[in-house]
Amino acid sequence: MIQRIQSIYMFLAAICFAALWLPSLVLLKTENPGEAYFSDSIFYANESMLILIGSGVSAIMALISVFLYKERGMQIIVAAVSSLMHLLFCIGACFYNVFKYQKLAEFIPANGMYFSMAGIILVWLAVRAIRRDQDLVKSMDRLR
């Protein structure tokens, strides 16, 4: 289970998704202070409940996907849904707030955004490796 590269990718993706729960993790910075979330020109991950819920559920789904190694089809679905959920809830909520408070021209991505992107890329790499395993098993079945 843990020897396979896709399990390592999914475990690292779960860590990246769960990192948004760190209280000092900054998602976005702006050049000038604004209103609401951007009153101190810094948008923390723990300021939005939607981002916390989305990152938590994504991390849990990525961990569940690690243990679905016997059912590759289900593992691909769970991993893809985890990545899509993180993309919609976490990154989507960040950009929604940036657009809502007219900070698009001056926002600067910070560590939290990089963790989110790294997690999505790791899930994509894991899905590629799972599909490669699935193709290998199908080709071995043809040889029997």
Taking the complete model, does pTM exceed 0.75, yes or no?
Answer: yes
Q: Please report the pLDDT score of residue 143 as a whole number.
A: 61
Q: Please report the pLDDT score of residue 27 as a whole number.
A: 81
- As to burial, measured by CB atoms within 10 angstroms (0-12 exposed, 13-18 middle, 19+ buried), residue 47 is middle
Tell me the domain boundaries of the chain: 5-143
Dist CA 120 CA 37 (whole Å): 25
Strand partners, 42: 29
Dist CA 132 CA 114 (whole Å): 27
Q: Please report the pLDDT score of residue 144 as a whole number.
A: 59
Q: Are 9 and 125 a contacting pair, CB within 8 Å?
A: yes
CB neighbour list of residue 81: distance below 8 Å, 6 or more residues apart:
61
Q: Please report the pLDDT score of residue 74 as a whole number.
A: 93
Q: Please report the pLDDT score of residue 118 as a whole number.
A: 94
pLDDT 10s per residue in the chain (144 long)?
556 888 999 999 999 999 989 888 888 888 778 777 777 878 888 888 888 899 999 999 999 999 988 888 899 999 999 999 998 888 888 888 888 878 777 888 888 889 999 999 999 999 999 998 888 888 877 665
Q: Which two tokens stand for residue 115?
A: 């963790």
